[in-house]
């Protein structure tokens, strides 16, 4: 599993193409010839970019759900809504389909942010709002999510 590092400001052109920053292309070097999966995020108004190997691992988990359970079917339908296979072109750009641009509210100014093994693509203004909201109670959130599980191992 690859872990990405960094947050990068980019510009989307009128066709929805985003040029990947050089530092990010270096991290993606062994994946650039492969396809990627682009989808709507579950919790935020942004997009998630999965290297195909990460997507396949996620689909293995999803495929284990019992399809005879209505909630599972509803989840699968919503989780995969708008999913697209995309490629990075020879100049290092990725094309975001119009419906996903609309969903994420992406304008010209965008942010690509690392989220462990995937990348999030945000409209810059929405990203700044999400970060601002999250920092207000980040200490409490960190304690709740990581405190019991890892104790003092993180310091």
Query: CATH no. for residue 14?
Result: 3.40.1550.20
Q: What is the pLDDT of residues 103-122, one digit of tens each?
A: 999 999 999 999 999 999 99
In a domain, residue 92? The reply is yes
Does 144 reside within a domain?
yes
CA distance 14 to 139: 39
**pTM for this structure?**
0.87
Residue 143 lies in a domain: yes
Q: Does a structural domain hold residue 1? A: no
Number of domains making up the chain: 1
Do residues 18 and 133 make contact, with C-beta atoms less than 8 angstroms apart?
A: no
- Could you tell me if residue 148 is inside a domain? yes
Per-residue buried b or exposed e for 53-64, using 16+ beta carbons within 10 Å of the residue's own CB: ebbeebbeeeee
Q: With 0-12 CB in 10 A as exposed, 13-18 as middle and 19+ as buried, what is 47?
A: buried
Q: Is residue 2 part of a domain?
A: no
d(CA 131, CA 31): 28
For residues 103 and 47, what is the distance between their CA atoms, to the nearest angstrom? 8
* pLDDT at residue 134 greater than cutoff 70: no
pLDDT, tens digit (0-9, with 9 covering 90-100), for 28-79? 888 888 899 999 999 999 999 999 999 999 999 999 999 999 999 999 999 9
For residue 149, is it within any domain?
Answer: yes
Q: How far apart are CA 38 and CA 100, in angstroms?
A: 9
Quote the domain boundaries for residue 95.
7-154
Residue 43 belongs to some domain of the structure: yes
């Amino acid at each position: 599993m690859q872990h990405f590092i960094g947050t990068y400001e980019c510009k989307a052109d009128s066709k929805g193409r985003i040029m990947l920053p050089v530092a990010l292309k270096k991290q993606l070097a062994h994946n650039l010839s492969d396809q990627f999966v682009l989808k709507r995020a579950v919790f935020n108004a942004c997009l998630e970019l999965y290297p195909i190997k990460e997507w396949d691992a996620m689909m293995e988990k999803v495929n284990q759900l019992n399809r005879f359970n209505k909630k599972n079917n509803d989840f699968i339908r919503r989780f995969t809504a708008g999913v697209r296979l995309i490629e990075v072109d020879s100049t290092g750009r990725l094309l975001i389909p119009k419906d996903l641009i609309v969903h994420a509210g992406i304008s010209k100014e965008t942010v690509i942010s690392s989220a462990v093994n995937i990348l999030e693509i945000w409209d810059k203004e929405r990203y700044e709002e999400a970060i601002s909201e999250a920092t207000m109670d980040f200490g409490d959130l960190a304690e709740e999510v990581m405190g019991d599980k890892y104790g003092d191992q993180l310091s």
